[in-house]
Every structure is written in structure tokens, then in C-alpha cells.
Amino acid sequence: MERVPVLKIGDILLVSIQIDMSDQTAVTLQEDLAERIVATGCHGVIIDITALDIVDSFVGRMLSTIASISKVLDAETVVVGMRPAVAITLVELGLSLNGIRTALNVERGMELIAATRDDDLGYDDTPGDVESATAATSP
Amino acid sequence: MTAGVDLGGPQTQAIGSDEDVVRVRQLVRTVAVAVKLSLVDQTKLVTAASELARNTLIYGGGGTAEVTVVEDGRRRGVRIVFADSGPGIVDLGLALTDGYTTGGGLGLGLSGSRRLVDDFDIQTAPGEGTRITITKWSR
Amino acid sequence: MALTADGGNRLVELLTGHGERVVQRWTEVVAASLRGRLSLAELRLQVQELHASMINAGGAGLADLQVPAAGELRAVLADLSRSRARQSFTATETAVSIYALKDVLVELAETDGAELSLRDVVDFTGLVDRMGLLTFETYVQTREGLIADQAEQLLELSTPVVKIWDGVVAVPLVGTLDSARAQVVMERLLQTLVDTGSPYAIIDITGVPAVDTQVAQHILKTVVAARLMGADCIISGIRPQIAQTIVALGIEFGDIATKASLADALRHVLRLTGVEASRRHPRREA
């Protein structure tokens, strides 16, 4: 059985699914991730599904479960890179992926996790911050 | 008139394990590409096939998927027949309801995949197995 | 009464024997019918090709246009009608180029003393009719292809997806939205979000005269699909009648943001990104 690698980048675990997963592979990934979150103490998980050409209800449920598990373990999960055709199909299938946060790409996903962590840690927004942040994030 | 790509007759894939579900997806994808379904239609068909192949495995105790290229004069399509000799479905109306499941899934397999294809036909009776035929037409 | 292989052979002899005269007269008759819209030299080339391919088809090929021997003739006929269809000649003008051969054959019999029985004349004209029908079919197919291509181009043109700000794309929808077009819009919008990495999309329906349940459903599905991909949609330009329809049809727009105008929608998005920017301030090292 193939395994999906889990990479640690800074405070974030990055999972890039590059294969057509069997259900067993998906379940194993779910278990691997829970262990790695605890072992590394990471507070963010990014699951990159750019390479997935379909997401069916099983994989959808796996994504939801990972999001819930990581929440319990104090980590934020963001699913990134869903293809348009996959999103259209999921809507038709009736799968809403409740409770999952999504972003267009890995970069946006990291921003989303950082923003959420800042919120959690209670940083306040001051006008001066807006100025410097806009300058820092514009290309 | 199918110059270029030889689509041949029906191709059958046995469904007896997790990996076979992956094989069904790959077979359906190949045929859908050869028939020139649009990317969104390919994705919908492969997703439906994945749901139904999993149902065949989990609820039917295994079976087969038969993939055929069909033609109705104006357009071409892909037809897939999922057959098992499992316990069959007792209450078909209930089984086709969104969210109903006896197997711990999301209950979107049957009802959801019906929305993803153009034609959906199901023959089943308690003790006599289940036979589901789906077709997706090119536009 | 169909042409036999023997009859076909006689026609081939005739076409070979009076080769130059047939091509000459055929070209002249066609030229008269097209009134100078194609040059004589060009017409002559086409007629020569037809003439040669008829001879190459042989008696058997002319007797039955479906056999392999007539393959070249069929191809030449198809080419001819395709080029006529593309150059906007009418179907009649296209078919006349073939039917002209009848006049030429009759002339041959009358003035050049070619030995033709009544039966031969009837059979030959029958063949020319069948050749004419072949060109007609290709003509119609080509025109249908042209129409389908244009419909597709129109669809593309009528659904521009434009980037209006860093991270914001807009689709100004103009005209009636049917299911097919709504689907194209949906796919293009979502693809543009990926290509530009834009987390915000504004769907402006100012130019849409009416919204029915199906179209509303398509818009809703687009918004949900965009969310699954990690982008937010704002719908702007909902006109009073459309708002009434939406409510009357009982369509739930739920928590989807709607704004009166494209400008309001953009202002809304900019405010959102502004707030986000302040939150995104990297102060974790503090």
C-alpha cells in the first residue's frame, strides 16, 4: 500500500496528496497526521489536493475528520488547491465539507493559518498595523 | 467511425478490494477521455463510479464494473454497469434519500451519484443482488 | 434507372474523348452562374479536378459513388462544396457547379455528334444529380459546423472574466442566461480564480434581464463551489424585478453577500481585505 508523506515546514504540517488514494491509504493518512500533530506540536495542517482529479464522499469525509481531529489537538486545518471541476462535482454530489477551511493555494493557506493563530493569541488590530501589513503583503 | 482510438468492446473490472475501486476509477477516466467528455463531465462520471464501486464492495460484498462506449446517433457516451450478488436493497426509496446510510458513510453514494450522471437505473431485490447502470453523454 | 458500369464506361470515354471541350464549356457555364465571383482560372482548376476525378473513378466508380474507386471523386466534391460554403456561396450556386455538366453533355450530343442514346442521357443526368446531392450534404455539414463554431465563440465573448483589483475578479453578465451559458460562466470563473490566485469574485448581473429558478441555482452552485475552493463570491447588480422573482420563487441566497452595484461590491471586498491585512500582520515574533 502506498503512503502519503507528511512534511513539517516550520510550525505547519504539509500534506500534498499526489496519488489516487485507495480508501485504506486515506485512513492511514488520517492516523499518520494525528500522530504527527502530537509528535511535532504543530499548530497548522495544510492538505494540498491540487493533484487530485476527484474527491468522492470517502475522501471528503476523511478531510472533515482530519479537520475535526486536528481541532481537538489544537491545530488548524486548511484544504488548498481544489480544482474547479472537483468543486463543481462536490456541489452536485451534495457534499458541503462542513467545518473545513479552504484556500486557493498553499501560500493563501499559510496566510489563513497565520491569521487564525494571531486571532487566537489575541493580538489586537491597530491602525498602524494595517499600514505596515499592507506594505508587507503587497507584491 | 471511431477512427484513431480503438475503444473496443466492453471492459470489465472485478471489484474485490480497495485497490480495485482505484482501478475502476482509472478505467472509467481513460474511457471518458477517449470519448471526449468535458473535464467537468469526466470528473462527475469518475466520482459517481468511485461511489458506486465502493458500494458494490462494501454492501454487495464485491462484484464487477463493466464499462462500455455507447452511441445514440448524435453523441457518444460512457455506460457503466455495477453488478453484485449481495443481499440487495430492501427499501430502494430510502436508499436513494440524501443522508441515509446503513454502512456508516455519508449516505451520498446512491443519491449523489444519481445527480452526477445523465441516466441512472437500478435493479435490486432482497437476496438477489444489485445491478446499477449509469450513463454519461458527451455534449 | 441507375447508371450501369457499362454506361459509366461510356461516360468516361466521352469525358476523355472530348476532354478539353468538356472542361472549357463546363467552366463557362459555371462562370455564368457565379457572375464573376470566382476568377475563370480558379474555376477552371476546380472543373479540371472534377473532370479528372470522374475519369479516375472509372465506369464502376461512376455507377456507384459509394465504392472505393469513387473515393477521390467524393473527396473532390466535398472539397468543392466546403470551399463554396466557406466563401458564402448559396447552396444553389454550389450545386449548379455540378449540374452544369448536364448542359455540357447535352451540347456534346447535339453539336459534336457524340453517340448518346436517350437511355445514356437519362442515366448520366441521374449520376450528375447524385453528385449534386453529395455536394449538398457536405455544404450543409460545413455550414452547421460554422454555426456551431460561431455559437461557441459568442459564448466565450459574452462571458469575460476580468481582474479588477489585486485578488479580485469580476464577471459582468450581459444578456439572457440559459443553463448552458450559466455552466460556461461557472467553469470560467472558477478557473480564473485558480489562475489568478484571487480569493474574491464579483458576479455582476446588472445586464441580465431575468432570472429563473435554474439560473439562480447555477449562480448559487457557483458560489458554493468557489467557497469549496477557498474563494468568496459577491453578487451585485440585482435589479428590483429580479429581487422580487428571487423571493417569489423562494430561492434562498442564504449568507451570500449581495450588493446593489459593482462599485458597492468592490468597496465591500476592499474593506474585507483591509481588515484581513491588519489581522495578517506578522507579529508572532513579538
Which of A23, A54, A57 lies closest to B18 in CB terms?
A: A23
pLDDT score recorded for residue C225: 94
- Report chain B residues whose CB lies below 8 A from the CB of A84: 40
All three cell numbers of B40? 467537468
Percent of chain C with pLDDT over 70: 93
pLDDT at A9 over 50: yes
Reported confidence tier of residue C56, pLDDT bands at 50, 70, 90:
confident
The answer to whether position A1 is within a domain reads no
Would you state the pLDDT for residue A79? 97
CB contact under 8 A, A83 and C279: no
Burial A74-109 (b: 16+ CB within 10 A, else e): ebbbbbbbbbbbbbbbbbbbbbebeebbbbbbbebb
Residue A22 is nearest to which of B18, B40, B105, comparing CB atoms? Answer: B18
| B117/B32 Cα distance (integer angstroms) | 13
| C285–chain A nearest CA distance, Å | 11
Phi-psi category of B98—alpha, beta or left, where left has phi over 0 and alpha has psi -120 to 50?
beta
Chain B closest CA to A95's CA: distance in Å? 8
**Structural Rg of chain B based on CA atoms:** 15
Average pLDDT over residues A106-117: 91
| C231 band by pLDDT with thresholds 50, 70 and 90 | very high
Given a cut of 50, whether residue A134 has pLDDT beyond it is: no
CA atoms within 13 A on the CB side of C31: 15
- Has residue A131 got a pLDDT over 90? no
- The answer to whether A55 faces chain B, any CB pair under 8 Å, is yes
Pairing of strands C200-207, C168-174: parallel
Out of A60-69, B103-112, C202-211, pick the least confident: B103-112
Query: Does A96 contact B at CB distance below 8 Å?
Result: no
Q: Cell numbers at residue C284, please?
A: 508572532
Per-residue pLDDT, averaged over C197-218, amounts to: 88
pLDDT digit string (tens) for C66-110? 888 888 888 888 888 888 888 888 888 888 888 888 888 888 877
Q: Domain spans of chain B?
A: 12-137
A124 belongs to a structural domain: yes
More confident residue, A66 or C65: A66
* 3-class secondary structure, B41: helix
- Give the residue-averaged pLDDT of C148-169: 82
Instruction: Identify the burial level of C200 via C-beta atoms within 10 angstroms of its C-beta, where 0-12 means exposed, 13-18 middle and 19 or more buried.
Output: buried
- Yes or no, beta carbons of C284 and A137 under 8 Å apart: no
Q: Which CATH number is A88's domain given?
A: 3.30.750.24
Task: Determine contact, residues B69/B7, Cβ cutoff 8 Å.
Answer: yes
A58 within a domain of the structure (yes/no): yes
Tell me the pLDDT tens digit for each residue of B45-64.
999 999 999 999 998 999 99
Over residues C3-49, the pLDDT tens digits come to: 788 888 888 888 888 888 888 888 888 888 887 788 888 888 888 88
Q: Which domains does chain C have, with CATH numbers?
A: 5-152 (1.10.490), 162-279 (3.30.750.24)
Judged by CB atoms closer than 8 Å, whether chains meet at C280 and A114 is answered as yes
Please report residues of B whose CB lies closer than 8 A to that of A89. Answer: 40, 43-44, 47, 116
- Chain B residue with Cα closest to A26: B18
What is the model's pLDDT at position A85? 96
The number of domains in chain A is 1
Least confident of A114-123, C179-188, C258-267: A114-123
**Alpha helix ranges (H) inside chain A:** 23-40, 57-72, 84-93, 106-121, 127-137
| Percent of chain B whose predicted confidence (pLDDT) is above 90 | 63
pLDDT band of residue A129 (cuts 50, 70, 90) is very low
Per DSSP, C53 falls in state H
Q: Which residue has the cell 444529380?
A: C129
Chain-chain contact of A134 with C277 (C-beta, under 8 angstroms): yes
Cβ-nearest to A22 among B19, B42, B112 = B19
Instruction: Produce one character per residue of C206-244: b if its CB has 16 or more CB atoms within 10 Å, e if not.
Output: eebeebeeebbebbbbbbbbbbbbbbbbbbbbbbeebee
Residues from chain A contacting residue B46 (CB–CB below 8 Å): 53-54
User: What does the pLDDT read at residue B130?
Assistant: 93
Q: Strand C232-236 vs strand C200-207: parallel, antiparallel, or unpaired?
A: parallel
Q: Which of A82, A121, A133 sits opposite C228 (nearest CB)?
A: A82
C-alpha to C-alpha distance for C48 and C102, rounded to whole angstroms: 16
| Between C249 and A76, residue with greater pLDDT | A76
At C276 the pLDDT is: 52
**In the predicted model, is pLDDT for residue C266 greater than 90?**
yes
Q: What is the fold, at CATH topology level, of the domain defined by B12-137? A: Heat Shock Protein 90 (3.30.565)
Cβ of A54 within 8 Å of Cβ of B25? The answer is yes
Region of residue C26 (phi > 0: left; psi between -120 and 50: alpha; otherwise: beta): alpha
In terms of residue numbers, what domain contains A69?
6-137
CA–CA gap between residue C222 and residue C253 (Å, rounded)? 12
Q: Which residues of chain A have a CB within 8 Å of the CB of B110?
A: none
pLDDT at residue A123 greater than cutoff 70: no
Q: Cα angle at C174 between C172 and C176, to 5 degrees?
A: 135
Give yes or no for residue C281 having a pLDDT over 70: no
Buried b (16+ CB within 10 A) or exposed e, C249-277: eebebeebbbbeebeebbebbeebbeebb
User: Using a CB-CB distance cutoff of 8 angstroms, which residues of chain A are in contact with residue C190?
Assistant: 84, 87-88
Q: What pLDDT sits at residue B72?
A: 84
pLDDT at C285 > cutoff 50: no
Q: How many CA atoms lie within 13 A of C53 on its CB side?
A: 20
